[in-house]
Structure 1
């Protein structure tokens, strides 16, 4: 019996994406949301956008963690040269898969999502994602590829941050999340804990100033938890990084 062809509506695809997310089938989530983006000319709802972001995050986090686990095992020593060679082969396989996933993200951002995003939070969100995945590429690339990915990550972060400063409140979680990841870029890719601390402190102080004068009641109810969580992460990173240059 030949399979029955079913025409899927937008709600059908969103439902399937949510089911795939619950089943931890993150590539299936990506595929459904990418189809939605194509059908809707790059316009995604907040729910669709968040599902896409979480799916890509899980896909790449698993790969990054896998590579680091094998790298740690390799560095522990006590392995034969043959075993070391096999571990390096596996690390290269993981790196290649990670590169494909990251390039898939930035291609989607550039071709379908950023060009049609609304000014403000949506534009910042997608540009931040672009910066994040170029940063991951820079982490696992070597030589000229590392330099190119690092430069593209910096460009995306700079544009997003400049746009965020003029369109989003200092307490907005998307603006704070961008500041956090941009600071991580300066620390991890540029090897500059001082610049990372400066950026993190600027974002932290601006948000705290608002909260000191207005309190959390001034924040939308659905953002309070995210805002406070990111502020804590900024604070923790500042303390950690400050010890590296003071």
Structure 2
């Protein structure tokens, strides 16, 4: 058998290949491996598998978002000629096309596989939040009706995630706090409403602090305490920043 011949891989082998691809920063290969698990199984992923998928998408889209913003900054520099702006616009359009493709792929995976098969607890919150995040990215780089469409999709996903989080997760859970942070960013960046962003962030922050102060934080939450503390700090920093924008 040749080295490139197709072979039937077990789930363990597939996950191992995904780990190797992750270490090699071959994020498209990571996604392909995890997708193969979803298509051949019941659609559910283990914690490790979903983290590999999430990190791969985050790295791909994060690089593209950073590239777009770098060119946007160059484009706005004083003295930039019209010709240079036009050429930069061509490159920004190319990046946006790649970003749209990646974000739409995430949304499709969430809607087709992961949300329908998710347990009605933290798993559902995680995937609905993930859908909301990538719809937010699509809205971030879109205009007019397209922006409105993706903004509405993001809002719906965040609301669904928030509803499930309110019922199933303690205030100190990092997934719930991460959702509150990103939902607040949505209100600030997409809806241009620092008031609503601050309100949501403050509610999540105060609720978590009250739970810790009254010793209501579950023992299981202590495993992820560092993540929770980091997100609480981000919430606090954003509240301070956004409150200065409220007239």
Name the TM-score, length of structure 1 as normaliser: 0.96
What is the alpha-carbon distance in structure 2 between the residues aligned to residue 81 and residue 187 of structure 1?
31
Aligned to 1:159: 160
Q: CA deviation at 1:216?
A: 6.8
1:71-220 aligned within 5 A: 71-214=72-215, 218-220=219-221
Q: CA deviation at 1:106?
A: 0.4
Is the contact between residue 211 and residue 217 of structure 2 (CA under 8 Å) also seen in structure 1? no
Aligned to 1:28: 29
Is the contact between residue 180 and residue 230 of structure 1 (CA under 8 Å) also seen in structure 2? yes
What is the alpha-carbon distance in structure 2 between the residues aligned to residue 181 and residue 198 of structure 1?
13
What is the alpha-carbon distance in structure 2 between the residues aligned to residue 5 and residue 81 of structure 1?
52
What is the alpha-carbon distance in structure 1 between the residues aligned to residue 216 and residue 129 of structure 2?
27
Coordinate RMSD, CA, aligned: 1.4
Number of aligned residues:
246
Q: CA deviation at 1:86?
A: 1.3
Q: CA deviation at 1:217?
A: 7.8
Is the contact between residue 172 and residue 221 of structure 2 (CA under 8 Å) also seen in structure 1? no
What is the alpha-carbon distance in structure 2 between the residues aligned to residue 121 and residue 170 of structure 1?
12
Q: CA deviation at 1:85?
A: 1.5
What is the alpha-carbon distance in structure 2 between the residues aligned to residue 107 and residue 149 of structure 1?
13
- For structure 2, the residue ranges without an aligned partner over 5 or more in a row are none
1:11 maps to 2:12: yes
Q: CA deviation at 1:70?
A: 0.5
* 1:225–1:215 CA distance, 2 compared to 1 (3 A): farther
Name the TM-score, length of structure 2 as normaliser: 0.96
